[in-house]
Chains A and B, each alone.
Chain A
Amino acid sequence: MRIFRLLLKAILRWAPAEFRERHGEEYLEIVSKRLREADSRGRMSVWPFAARELAGAVTAVLGMRLAMERPVAGAGSATGGSSTGGRETMMRTMIEDGRQALRVVRRNSGFTWTAVVVMALGMGAVTAIFSAANAYFFRPLPFQDPQRLVLLYETNPDFGWTHAQAAPANALDWREQVQAFEDIALYRDLGVWDVVLPSPDGPLVVGGTSVSGNFFDVLGVRPLLGRTFTWEETFAGRDDVVMLSHGLWVRRFGADPDVVGSTVLMGSDAVEREIVGIMPEGFAFPADETQLWIPYGWEPEALSSTSYRRGHWVRPVARLARGAGLEEADAQLQAVVQELQARYPETNRVMGAGLAPLRDFLVRDVRTPLMVLLGAVFLLLLLACANAANLMLVRSNDRAREIALRSALGAGRLRVARQLLMESVLLSLLGGVLGLGLGWLGAIAMATRTRLGIEGATQIALDGRVVLVILSVAIISGVVFGTGPALRVTTGGLQETLREGGGGGRGTRSLRVAGLLVAAEVALALLLVVGAGLMIRSAYLLRSVDPGFRVDGTLAVELTIPSSRYPHRDQVLAFWDELEDRVEARPGIERAGMVGWLPLAGTGWTSQFQAEGWPPDRVGLEIVHRRADRGYFEALDVPLVRGRLFDASDGPETPNVVVINETLAREHFPGEDPVGQKIAYDRRPTEESIWYEIVGIVGDQHQVSPGVAPRAEVFESRSQDWGRSGWLVMKTSVEPRSVVSAVRASLAEMDSGIPLAAVRPLREVWVDSLRRERFILVLLSAFGAAALVLASVGIYAVTAQAMRRRTREIGVRIALGADRVDVLSLALRQGILVIGLGLLVGLMVSLVATRALASFLFGIEPTDPWVLASVMALLGGVGLVACYIPARRATAVDPVTSLRAE
């Protein structure tokens, strides 16, 4: 923030003197106060505030200057051709300079296009990544006063929880006792669940989510039609209500306003609910797929039971009371947390809690990748600037004579320098506009592959902020890469230039500058290409990880067996059995089974456990649970390591059995045989504990992603721990998607009212689990490729320029009998030196900088020697080629022609 204050002061220095004297101090004092206020609202509100204040200061200074009738004093003298020039003179010379710059830019179309395209590449990358960052960090949230919203989470050192969902009973206690919160609402932040909605065209599966009744009030959002829920409707008895999204209202009810107040049958259990309200278009919080909201429907008396304190599945969102700060709220929260730890030791012994501003919390997972990508595009932009500076330098050499002539004819040096700057800014702005277009196309391409923006709240958009930032960056870049050449022109002796006929003598110095620029380009390119190389190698390693199941030739479909038509357990079990038999009879399907939750799709519920006979302090923490049957393991080729799989004999009435994975066996039964042991999902088993006998051990299946080690997992039999929802998984001998219609037909033979909620080949599930890595991989590869191109262009341009300057020398040498190869190697020597210097510097920087990538890499270190070596070889090779082509061309000319070149 010190930079912000310095910048602000620098801007204000340009304000009219009278204003500075009268208001300067007060201005800064007000900004400081407001900055502190913004700071107290959380980190995410400081940056937008600072940006807005800077823009405001620029507007104010410009506005006051324009409004002034009198000539500009002081500050104006540096810009005008003469110190007596007023505002009008200043404007006139500016316009004149602009016209001149346009003329130059138009006249030299080859140079112009090269520079513009180079800048457009850099600016395009910045646009794409900044618009993504914008969607997360700056786009307005669709809530009232979002700065006052905070999300709460629970922490537990025993389980390694850092941002866990809360237990409802705990959250309700916070709601009662923390005064700094105006109110706390609860919602589900684990994506939507499928709700079956009857419709004239057959049953519709839509995304639903559960909320507490005050959810909409706490967020401060109003319905388009009707009303939102009340707090009382959170609880059973009053919970037969539903809110619809705008999209669902239009799609299912034809935007009929009269549906508000009517009832609708919904869900697999066909509950009748009253539609109380319609949300406005665009509101989908907390998940993009949310199409309806229903209250939790808790039994008020059940809330005091232990299960509401043991299960962690609600996300509390709180609105800070007016005037209350984060620290105050946190202090009060901690007091309640301690009280709960003391009062409920069984569930809350080490349960902590924390809070974070809503936006900070929602973007916590994307912050690092976005920062890495922003860093990468910044490097790319620097590279583009270095390139453009080089082009300008080459050009200013060629134009040295014209410029000297203009100076001699009376144009002030500042005027000439300013004109050169104007040219570079113009080029950069052109590049910026083109880059804005290119980058936006890129952003759209990214957005079609990966969801960009905060789920259910913000979208990627080309808004005023993006345009403003990009154009500002373009202007700054123009100044950055134009300053060097402009300075050079104005510091040299002009008589010297005129005498030498166009910059022959100054060539060596400018070549040295150009050489350093190229070395910098090579170093920057090395950094970017190393980043890309690391991601590529890491992706290759990730791909070779065995996920623990058959990925190809397998398909999964999700469905729910409705309680309305199949109220009893035995009906549901029989349904699954029959469905499996029916699909297995279809051609192309070899084996079918059922599982509650797919592998590589995250973890479902977790618990602790103890085995029979363990001492009280021995306990297994955070084991993952899934429900499955024999068919699941066989369809996905999950190997049986020991014991047996579930059998037809394991039924609801027979003793409970489970199958565990190898990790659980290894971690919790080291040196023992787990098969035959009995476990209960309690920290301290009691009389009421339910015991499960371990009958088999199966191979690990990665639960989260191939890059995340498998966790200890228990599989319950779907006949014993039964459920209505799950995935039917199939091994197919044909292309997986080609059997979908057969599966639908089999299902329809049994019940035509059950839709498939999802259809997913396991290959697709696998690809999705690597989405984050691939996103970064694709972008860094694109930046790396762009960096390679830019660096080659730079090397080529400088070598060509150097060769042109030495045409005469080369001609003489060849005329005197020197071997062309010798001359060529002489010419290459400088190129090799420059490239070598760049590679060395780049290598040293990348050894440090690539640490930023560490958390995205799998199986390799950020300093992987293979990657570093191959990238250096690649860059060196490309650099040499870029150097060789112009050198070759120079030595190929006939000595007579080259001697005449002067």
Chain B
Amino acid sequence: MTPLTYQILLALADEPRHGYGIIKEIEERGGEGSAPSTGAMYLALQRMEGEGLIEEDTERPREGDDARRKYYRITDTGRARAEAESRRLAELVATARSRRLLGGTAAGGGGA
């Protein structure tokens, strides 16, 4: 799974969002400059839609929302894939910690 795919799935995990909302969410977590270019995001969205990870959400979250905005929500497949990826990353982090690449409370930590 590409980092961008994972980022988008993370952004959609709690609620459906539109394109700009996804970018803002990624920027909030990663800081300015962490979000992909608009084109890269749309390419990823198209691909993820094709793979069935996300789908368009036709329900508008608010009345009178801009009709041009397309909302996306995560599908069950998408959620399962994101969970699997999260587990994989968590294991990597645990390994990093045990090899003292990351401070923390895991075994052997606290050297630096």
A interface list, Cβ under 8 A from B:
19, 22-23, 25-27, 29-31, 33-34, 41, 52-53, 55-61, 63-64, 67, 144-145, 147-148, 225
A-B contact pairs, 6 of them (CB 8 A): A19-B42, A23-B70, A26-B69, A53-B38, A56-B40, A64-B46
B interface list, Cβ under 8 A from A:
18-20, 23, 31-33, 36-43, 46-47, 50, 68-70, 112
Q: Specify the chain A residue showing the minimal Cβ separation from B41.
A: A56
Q: A55's contact among B31, B37, B50, by CB below 8 Å, is which?
A: B37
Q: Which of A22, A30, A53, A64 is the most central at the interface, judged by chain B CB atoms within 10 Å of its CB?
A: A30
List 11 additional contacts besides A53-B37, A56-B37, A145-B32; criterion CB under 8 Å. Answer: A26-B20, A30-B23, A34-B38, A53-B38, A53-B39, A57-B37, A58-B39, A61-B39, A67-B50, A144-B31, A145-B31
Q: Specify the chain A residue showing the minimal Cβ separation from B42.
A: A60
Q: List residues of chain B with CB within 8 A of the CB of A23.
A: 19, 42, 70
Judged by DSSP, the binding face of A is helix
Q: Specify the chain A residue showing the minimal Cβ separation from B28.
A: A322
Q: List residues of chain A with CB within 8 A of the CB of B32.
A: 41, 145, 147-148
Q: List residues of chain A with CB within 8 A of the CB of B33.
A: 147
A63 touches B43 (CB 8 A): yes
Bound complex: CA of A63 vs CA of B43, how far in Å?
7
A26 touches B70 (CB 8 A): yes
Q: Specify the chain B residue showing the minimal Cβ separation from A55.
A: B37
B12: shortest Cβ distance to chain A, in Å? 16
Judged by DSSP, the binding face of B is helix
Q: List residues of chain A with CB within 8 A of the CB of B18.
A: 26
Q: List residues of chain A with CB within 8 A of the CB of B68.
A: 25-26, 29
B46 touches A19 (CB 8 A): yes
B31 touches A67 (CB 8 A): no
3 cross-chain pairs, A with B, having the tightest CB-CB distances, nearest first: A56-B37, A56-B39, A60-B39
Q: List residues of chain B with CB within 8 A of the CB of A52.
A: 37
Bound complex: CA of A23 vs CA of B50, how far in Å?
16
B111: shortest Cβ distance to chain A, in Å? 9
B90: shortest Cβ distance to chain A, in Å? 23
B112: shortest Cβ distance to chain A, in Å? 6
B43 touches A31 (CB 8 A): no
Bound complex: CA of A31 vs CA of B40, how far in Å?
12
Q: List residues of chain B with CB within 8 A of the CB of A145.
A: 31-32
B20 touches A22 (CB 8 A): no
Q: List residues of chain A with CB within 8 A of the CB of B37.
A: 52-53, 55-57, 59
Bound complex: CA of A148 vs CA of B70, how far in Å?
31
A26 touches B36 (CB 8 A): no
A59 touches B39 (CB 8 A): yes
Q: List residues of chain B with CB within 8 A of the CB of A147.
A: 32-33
Bound complex: CA of A60 vs CA of B20, how far in Å?
16
B70 touches A27 (CB 8 A): no
> Given the interface contacts A23-B70, A145-B32, does A225 sit within 8 Å of B112 by beta carbon?
yes
A5: shortest Cβ distance to chain B, in Å? 13
A64 touches B43 (CB 8 A): yes
B70 touches A60 (CB 8 A): no
Bound complex: CA of A365 vs CA of B34, how far in Å?
30
Bound complex: CA of A58 vs CA of B18, how far in Å?
22
B46 touches A67 (CB 8 A): yes
> Given the interface contacts A56-B36, A56-B38, does A30 sit within 8 Å of B43 by beta carbon?
no
Q: List residues of chain B with CB within 8 A of the CB of A25.
A: 68
Bound complex: CA of A371 vs CA of B92, how far in Å?
47
Bound complex: CA of A30 vs CA of B50, how far in Å?
22
A30 touches B40 (CB 8 A): no
Q: List residues of chain B with CB within 8 A of the CB of A58.
A: 39
B23 touches A34 (CB 8 A): yes
Bound complex: CA of A282 vs CA of B86, how far in Å?
33
Bound complex: CA of A23 vs CA of B38, how far in Å?
11
> Given the interface contacts A22-B70, A26-B69, does A31 sit within 8 Å of B47 by beta carbon?
no
Bound complex: CA of A61 vs CA of B37, how far in Å?
13
Q: List residues of chain B with CB within 8 A of the CB of A61.
A: 39
B31 touches A57 (CB 8 A): no
A448: shortest Cβ distance to chain B, in Å? 32
B58: shortest Cβ distance to chain A, in Å? 13
Q: List residues of chain A with CB within 8 A of the CB of B36.
A: 56
Q: List residues of chain A with CB within 8 A of the CB of B20.
A: 26, 29-30, 33
B61: shortest Cβ distance to chain A, in Å? 15
Bound complex: CA of A439 vs CA of B100, how far in Å?
42
